[in-house]
Amino acid sequence: MTDKKEIFSNIQFKKIKDIKDDPSLKEAQTFVGGYVEMVRVGSGILLIDEEGKLKNKEVNAYASEMYANEYGDADIIVGNAIYIPNTLTKSQWFS
The pLDDT assigned to 10 comes to 86
Helices (H), 1-95: 25-32, 61-71
On whether residue 57 sits in a domain, the answer given is: yes
The pLDDT assigned to 44 comes to 96
The pLDDT assigned to 95 comes to 80
On whether residue 61 sits in a domain, the answer given is: yes
C-alpha distances in Å from residue 17, one per residue of 7, 23, 51, 60, 88: 28, 11, 26, 20, 8
On whether residue 50 sits in a domain, the answer given is: yes
How many domains in the chain? 1
On whether residue 58 sits in a domain, the answer given is: yes
On whether residue 24 sits in a domain, the answer given is: yes
The pLDDT assigned to 9 comes to 73
On whether residue 7 sits in a domain, the answer given is: no
The pLDDT assigned to 2 comes to 38
Q: pTM value?
A: 0.89
On whether residue 95 sits in a domain, the answer given is: no
C-alpha distances in Å from residue 49, one per residue of 20, 30, 53: 22, 10, 8
pLDDT in tens, the chain (95 residues): 434 444 457 899 999 999 999 999 999 999 999 999 999 998 999 999 999 999 999 999 999 999 999 999 889 999 999 999 999 999 999 98
On whether residue 2 sits in a domain, the answer given is: no
The pLDDT assigned to 3 comes to 43
Domain of residue 77 covers: 13-88
